[in-house]
Structure 1
Amino acid sequence: MTAPPPDPRPTTIAVLVGRPAEHTAPSGRLVRTAFRKHVVDGPVVVGETNLDGDEQADLRVHGGPDKAVLAYSAEHSARWAELEPALAEPGAFGENLHVAGLTEADVCIGDRWAVGSALFEVSQPRQPCWKVDDRWGRDDLVDRIESTGHAGWYLRVVQVGTVRAGDAWALVDRPHPRWTVAEAFDVMHHRRDDLAAARALDDLPELAPSWRRSLAKRVLRLSAGDLADEDQTDRRAGPVG
């Protein structure tokens, strides 16, 4: 008997969830975070703002309907393994869905993807923060993510349902084929003086409101001729104390 050909569609390799817990960072800072996720076997219920069993510690900057689920590409694993083998494992970057066959260059803002019985919409690239470095006791991962764009992407839930490892991803709608997650990430992190790109990206109604607010401020600043860069200290270094 001839074996069936492999499924060419993108596929969820692992589903992961986690709840907030406290630990002491190498700096001595007490950190409360849900960054550490564990793999779940079997179906997992997708709610409007979370997978069942998943929470966020700091709701000011994480979670909510526009950051309900974080997806990360398994296609980056080989490169991360060269740096540290554990970084290639599902959940190494705090994601909920570890997916093969897709990268930031393959998904676009506003895309709608059917996964399991749920329907997701791509809301924004993930912006790496200090908790990535904190998780691994390193001081270079945020820089590496920003330089490579291997950041992952957030999903809002359009239709609740269930997901599980082995689910195929099916593209249902793509309203903005120009605006891949990779392109949006590049504008936000590398083309900070590109006024036209900031305006165009800010015009996407599906883009998360937090990104649109940041871009609107950038547009005002650049329109006024102010080329000073945005302050990234809190996101990259975390709170003091």
Structure 2
Amino acid sequence: MTAAASSPRIVSIQVGLPQECGTEGAADEHDTPWRTGFYKLPVAGPVQAKSLGIVGDGVADRVHHGGIDKAVLAYSADHYPVWNRDLRGSGLLATGEMTGGAFGENLSITGLGENDVCIGDLWQAGDVLLEVSQPRQPCWKLSRRWRIADLAAQVIRNGKSGWYVRVVREGTLTAGLELTLVARKHPTWTIARVNDVGYHQKKEIALATELAALPELAAAWREMFEDRVRKHRER
């Protein structure tokens, strides 16, 4: 695990509702109007985790975000020191600092990364049971939030994507809760490896076939791999 000396835990919880951002006629495309639920603020007390997400949170684009498969977004807080160092060093992070919620996540977690979490994993935090469903697919909103044009592309290259979870058992979450691995059904399919097959090993049809057969993988990702396999067979 990313921080083997201690148990994984939730270091902060963030929620936010969709908001209108930008200004009509702005010269910089980063400042033109857009609607987003990307901006999340830390919650000091307990929150309720429901099957469709954390109470008080919302998404602007219900086609690509939200739903049971993507109820809660988790991200490794251990990535942020590296992001801050690298982006500042390259001059891309001109203002602000990346901390909990910087990638629009609900749960900022220490002690876990994409190599430590597998599809179908069941993780317990307090009385809440979470099931890992898919990697987070970085989109243009991440780049726009930080005014870094290729930030989403950087995430695809380095694999620091984060992951989505289903809320299998509803309950209360608070910052500081430890995460306990209850069950691991697919130990070979880490989030890192799924990202690799999804973005970089597109010709590995056997691997795509295997992933398409995982019932715990989010429907959208299973369909993506099924489509890849189908197109290969039609050639």
Q: TM-score normalized by structure 1?
A: 0.88
Pair 1:194-2:204 in alignment:
yes
Q: Deviations over 1:135-173 (max 9, x none)?
A: 111101011100000000000010000111100000000
Deviation at 1:42, TM superposition (A): 1.3
Q: 1:204-223 maps to which residues of 2 (within 5 A)?
A: 204-223=214-233
Q: Is the partner of 1:81 in helix, strand or coil? A: helix
- 2:39 is aligned, of 24, 36, 41, to 36
Q: Is the partner of 1:183 in helix, strand or coil? A: helix
Q: CA RMSD in A?
A: 1.5
Deviation at 1:78, TM superposition (A): 1.6
One-letter amino acid of the structure 1 residue matched with residue 191 of structure 2: V
How many angstroms apart in 1 are the aligned matches of 2:224 and 2:102?
28
Q: Is the partner of 1:204 in helix, strand or coil? A: coil
Aligned residue number for residue 162 of structure 1 = 172
Aligned residue number for residue 17 of structure 1 = 15
Contact 1:86/1:92 (<8 A) preserved:
no
Q: Is the partner of 1:88 in helix, strand or coil? A: coil
Deviation at 1:87, TM superposition (A): 4.9
One-letter amino acid of the structure 2 residue matched with residue 77 of structure 1: Y
How many angstroms apart in 1 are the aligned matches of 2:97 and 2:153?
15
Deviation at 1:29, TM superposition (A): 3.9
Aligned residue number for residue 239 of structure 1 = none
- 1:78 is aligned, of 51, 72, 81, to 81
Deviation at 1:70, TM superposition (A): 0.2
How many angstroms apart in 1 are the aligned matches of 2:96 and 2:178?
25
Q: Is the partner of 1:177 in helix, strand or coil? A: coil
One-letter amino acid of the structure 1 residue matched with residue 15 of structure 2: V
Total equivalences in the alignment = 220
How many angstroms apart in 1 are the aligned matches of 2:97 and 2:208?
32
One-letter amino acid of the structure 1 residue matched with residue 9 of structure 2: T
Decide which moves more: 80-89 or 114-123.
80-89
How many angstroms apart in 1 are the aligned matches of 2:5 and 2:14?
22
Deviation at 1:204, TM superposition (A): 0.4
Pair 1:94-2:101 in alignment:
no
- 2:184 is aligned, of 167, 174, 185, to 174
How many angstroms apart in 2 are the aligned matches of 1:174 and 1:11?
18
Aligned residue number for residue 235 of structure 1 = none
Structure 2: 5+ residue runs without aligned partners?
88-92
One-letter amino acid of the structure 1 residue matched with residue 21 of structure 2: H
Aligned residue number for residue 61 of structure 2 = 58
One-letter amino acid of the structure 1 residue matched with residue 213 of structure 2: D
Pair 1:47-2:43 in alignment:
no
Q: Is the partner of 2:109 in helix, strand or coil? A: strand
How many angstroms apart in 2 are the aligned matches of 1:7 and 1:166?
16
Deviation at 1:86, TM superposition (A): 3.9
One-letter amino acid of the structure 2 residue matched with residue 53 of structure 1: G
Percentage of matched positions with identical amino acids: 45
Aligned residue number for residue 107 of structure 1 = 117
One-letter amino acid of the structure 2 residue matched with residue 219 of structure 1: V
